[in-house]
Amino acid sequence: MLLHSVVDTSVAVAATRSRRTKIDLLRELLDRAEPHEVESVVSWLSGEMTQGRLGVGFRTLAALSAPVAAEPTLSVDQVSGLLDRLAGISGPGSAAARQHLLMELFEQATEAEQRFLVALLGGELRQGALEGVMTDAVAAAAGLAVEPVRRAVMLSGRLAQAAAAAFEGGVDALAGFGLELGRPVRPMLASPAESLDAALTEFDGAVSVEYKLDGARIQVHRRDDAVWIFTRTLRDITTSVPELVDLVRALPCRSVVLDGETLALTDSGRPRPFQETMSRFGARSERELLLHPYFFDCLHLDGDDLLDEPLSVRLDHLARVAGEHRIPTLVAPDADSAEAHLGDSLGNGHEGVMVKSLTSTYTAGRRGRAWQKVKPEHTLDLVVLAAEWGYGRRTGFLSNLHLGARDPDGGPPIMVGKTFKGLTDALLQWQTEEFPRYESHRDEHTVHLRPAIVVEIELDGVQTSSRYPGGVALRFARVLRYRPDKSAGDADTIDAVRALLPTAPVSGTGLP
């Protein structure tokens, strides 16, 4: 298969908002791919590379001045091989070697292929083939039901790898993906609840109600003395959190996989600001600021995988292995007890509570109704699209933020508002230093960014608006904090924003 077939499909997928059309386009391309090409094609159209990070910056790519090939000749295998070589470059002279190899690649590419490669290598490819769309397309092209593909993605943590298995070995190959100690599982996600009473009623009281901590999501694995700690984005931070490693190694078990949160506490036991917790994840060694884990789920214990067991069973195993490190939880409480638990959580400086169905299995990577979060204020995780240069006291600083919600069908983020409220002097300084690293272009007043930075916004609500393409606008939005633990793919969708309207419109990404 030639690269230009992938590029043509990418352009076509980006040009439609129809989920069905996206899936059909991707399926048609995968139907033409050789089995050994599937992993690369799926990876690229998901905006990723099988090789991971290649040490190539976006500005380096944008500055390339390679001549344009007149006709498409590059094959998928050729590009994959060149990227493998690029990933293997290190040591003295590596920058020049990368530059030489990039020129070799780009000189063989047409103009459209060069644009595609710049976006892919620079982490800016946003043509609308998000994981859910691509998973459905892989299943359709391989002639399989979608659930086995989704499960393999959950357990492998890599869509492209699961896709390759689907084409090479079908259901039997997908069944070979199991929970593997040391390989993180995609985390299960929660949806916002209308209210505590509504969540309790939906499950007829058969729920657990636990504190919703203002911490950072972690997943811990242990096999004998070997321990791994992963973030919600599946990044390995084991070497940065030795106190968590020691704690997990001391648990009364031989092997375990736990899901939970970690946070730093003040001397009085209250949570420190989220940014202080996240600062530990980039450290190379233990610092004075210690992290405390609080677990809420058990996915494996002493040889038994528990993903398909109901939450009630998983909680029993959690109590046995990590009872003293559990998040404060009530099981099947009455309404008054649940309300009191919410009050206690807020009173202790936390965000609210999580309400979870006791019959739910662990379904990773999807925001279902089985887990619901109850918070007293409206907050949204949005993508920073741009920042305007400030004036007056803020002259010289990047200030007013342009905010976008995620398109659930994989298109670029959809702008829903602006804000400069809540920005401290420290945040203004940080934005001005950090944002240019993600710059795509700028004009006299504004620096536009690649969709990579997620910010948590507090707001009083939303209103209909013809000013923004999603048909809604934020009301009295203010910055709470940045979320370095989240990627643009974790941001809230435009549907989540619209759900905050007094009367929510029908779901979808087109104009209401």
Contact 134/159 with Cβ under 8 angstroms?
Answer: yes
Q: Is 22 annotated in the active site?
A: no
Q: Is 296 annotated in some ligand binding site?
A: yes
Q: Which of 143, 119, 108 is nearest to 2 (CA)?
A: 108
Cβ burial 312-338 (10 Å sphere, 16+ → b, else e): bebbebbeebbeebbbbbbbbbeeeeb
Cβ burial 290-311 (10 Å sphere, 16+ → b, else e): ebbbbbbbbbbbeeeebbebeb
Q: Is 210 annotated in some ligand binding site?
A: yes
Q: Of 22, 212, 418, 486, which is the active-site residue?
A: 212
What is the DSSP code (8-state) at residue 328?
A: P
CA distance 254 to 313: 19
Q: Is 217 annotated in some ligand binding site?
A: yes
CA distance 417 to 468: 7
| One-letter amino acid of 179 | L
484 by Cβ neighbours in 10 Å (0-12 / 13-18 / 19+) ranks as middle
Query: Which residues 6+ apart lie within 8 Å of 394 measured at CB?
Result: 420, 428
CA distance 289 to 264: 7
Q: Is 58 annotated in some ligand binding site?
A: no
Stated as kind and residue range, the H or E segment containing 409 is none
* Residues labelled as active-site residues: 212
Annotated binding site: 210, 217, 232, 261, 296, 367, 373
Annotated binding site for ATP: 210, 217, 232, 261, 296, 367, 373
